[in-house]
Amino acid sequence: MLPLPTALNTPAPNARSSRVSVVVIGFNDAAHLADAVRSALAQGPVVHEVIAVDDCSSDGSAELLAGLAARDRRVKVLRRESNSGGCGTPRNDGIDAASAPYVMFLDSDDVLPPGAAATLLAAAERHGSEVASGLCVRRELPSGRDVPWQPELYARARLVARPELRARLVHDTLCVNKLYRVDFLREHGIRFPEGRFVYEDFVFTARVLAAAPRIALVPDTVYVWHVRRAAAKLSISLDRSGIANWRARMEAHRQSVEILRDARGNGGKRLARAARTKFLDHELRMYTRELPARGKEHQREWWALTRAYLTTFDAADLDAAPAPGRVIARVVLASERPRDLARLKQVAARPARLAPPYPRAADATPVWADDLPQVTLEHLLVRPMRLLPLAVDGELRPRAGGARLTLRLRELYGRVAEAGPATVDVDLVHRHSGHPGLRRTASFGAERPGETWTATVLLDLASLAGGVWDVRLRVRFADGTVRETTAHAVAGPGLLRRTVVPGGRRGILLIQPYATQAGHLSVRLAPGPRGVAGVAKRRLARLVRAVTGPRAR
């Protein structure tokens, strides 16, 4: 590893106020690296140094960093002589080089929002904590929509005296939205896995929690994670297309559980169970949603790997998990081969949906399938109505000026009829801004008494701006229960296809109902001739890419 010289044309940091080292890692990311480093420098005098670790880039990153170092003496550049293959090794280099009392981590394609370092430092020093942690937002690009990561943890400021007192900490596996006391990391030998190790954050975070630090939580946004799903080369963690990614995720989780379980005291066992519960509710559901889109060989291998891993969980692990993940795990364990993937995908969605059939065992207990009576669903008989995985199908049929939306609510082991479907509020929410558009309310009528209830609304789509609009539902029952859910997009003749209709200020409107990855009904709108032409142009470009081959990854 080669240190690059820094210039001396800026004032030396003040040792009393400059308390934070920010470690920025990058590999062949010159397009974004400067923004990351500048966001760290913009934290102000609280930052003692920005340690930029170049993982042997070949795209001009070294020259870019040298220029930044020449303009600000706080920038210290480390260039690795060979590429490490992952994120862990360069971060370890940064820990070794840090000369301030605290350290933060920043990836080259992300940024720190103003005041992040000062906020975390103030919390750590106020509470005397070894770790301070704040809210991270996932910023979807190019739309700019911010999605908070684990917001439940950061609803208010608090000090967690021991990690097991807030077991949900295992859900926040990120290392970048936190500030760590350097001597704490060094004293406990807490480091990232070396080399190419995907999901290195999982293991690092487990090592931190196993060392039982005091953790200060702050509600402020301290990290902006840029999610570029359309990038020519996806990030290591976002590229889930290959089975190797699932193998890596399970291995990182397995190691994390072992680290927590082996920690001294009963707190580690509690955290280990929480980590397994999190796997069932997060990882298992996320990958199950994507499974129907994979090839048959991928599905078979995924199923076998997952089944083998789930055998290491005990009954208490499964019982502690929310119902959707628990049901998916039990179906996988009960069957040697992939089955019911479309139905499992809907159970894995958020909110969960249980599609028909609804069989019962000989003793009338609800079960997953007649040939899997061991996978029982008796929780559906006692679960609060507002939490049930209701199945609502949606058919959106475009027409002049708008569309007719027909909703069909299905029975669920007698619970729906007992509650009495009354009305449904239909909201169209803009995907990128989150702003509400239309709201319509309709009454349910019994299409097939005791089996299906229907409601129909007319939507003036021409009154909405262009873009993607998600359909959200609020089902109201006669017993006073309210259940928020989504509509499952029904595919069939004349459905889920682009239609150009007259209407609106621009004369014409392109309406495209479609199913999201989770199967929820959404609609894409393109008003006016220019909007319609833009959609056609993008479709042609996708067809060309399909013929010429995918972009390099």
Model pLDDT, residue 16: 57
| Residue 220 burial (CB count, 10 A) | 15
β-pair type (131-140, 145-149): antiparallel
Cite the DSSP H helix spans in 11-106.
30-41, 61-71, 88-97
Query: What is the pLDDT averaged over residues 502-510?
Result: 77
Q: DSSP per residue over 99-122, as a string? A: -SSEEEEEETT-BPPTTHHHHHHH
Residue 533's pLDDT band (cuts 50, 70, 90): low
| Residue 134 burial (CB count, 10 A) | 23
Residue 249 belongs to what H/E stretch?
helix 243-261
Q: Which residues pair with 469 in a beta bridge?
A: 430, 523
Question: Residue 68 pLDDT more than 90?
Answer: yes
- The candidate with the shortest Cα–Cα distance to 132, out of 92, 95, 102, is 102
Model pLDDT, residue 5: 36
Question: Residue 17 pLDDT more than 80?
Answer: no
Model pLDDT, residue 493: 83
Q: Categorise residue 80: left if φ over 0, alpha if ψ from -120 to 50, beta otherwise.
A: beta
Q: 385 and 484 in contact (C-beta within 8 Å)?
A: no
Task: For residue 468, give every residue at least 6 positions away whose Cβ sits within 8 Å of its Cβ, in sequence order, or none.
Answer: 430, 431, 432, 522, 523, 524, 525
Question: Residue 208 pLDDT more than 60?
Answer: yes
Q: 334 and 342 in contact (C-beta within 8 Å)?
A: no
Quick: pLDDT tens for 361-377: 999 999 999 999 999 99
**Average pLDDT over all residues of the chain:** 90
Query: What is the pLDDT averaged over residues 166-186?
Result: 98
- Find tokens 């081959």 and name the residue: 549
Query: What is the pLDDT averaged over residues 172-198?
Result: 97
Model pLDDT, residue 361: 96
Tally of residues, the chain: 553
- The candidate with the shortest Cα–Cα distance to 122, out of 221, 190, 212, 20, is 20
Quick: pLDDT tens for 231-264: 555 555 567 889 999 999 999 999 999 999 999 7
Measuring CA to CA, how many Å separate 488 from each of 516, 518, 521? Answer: 9, 9, 6
Quick: pLDDT tens for 131-149: 999 999 999 888 788 899 9
Model pLDDT, residue 549: 45
- The tokens for 475 are 């089902």
Domain boundaries along the sequence of the chain: 2-227, 243-382, 389-527
- The candidate with the shortest Cα–Cα distance to 203, out of 190, 212, 213, 218, is 190
Q: What sign does the CA torsion over 29, 95, 135, 44 have?
A: negative
Model pLDDT, residue 447: 86
Give the gyration radius of the chain's Cα atoms: 26
Q: 471 and 522 in contact (C-beta within 8 Å)?
A: yes
Residue 79's pLDDT band (cuts 50, 70, 90): very high
- Find tokens 């017993």 and name the residue: 479
CATH 3.10.450.50 assigned to domain 2-227? The reply is: no
Q: Tell me the whole-structure pTM to 2 decimals.
A: 0.88
Query: What is the pLDDT averaged over residues 69-78?
Result: 96
| Residue 494 burial (CB count, 10 A) | 9
Quick: pLDDT tens for 324-345: 999 999 999 999 999 999 999 9
- The candidate with the shortest Cα–Cα distance to 159, out of 222, 221, 218, 220, is 218
CATH architecture type of domain 389-527: Sandwich (2.60)
HSE-CB for 326 with a 13 A CA cutoff: 17
- Find tokens 């029975």 and name the residue: 411
β-pair type (47-54, 75-79): parallel
Model pLDDT, residue 291: 96
495/415: higher pLDDT? 415
| Residue 470 burial (CB count, 10 A) | 18
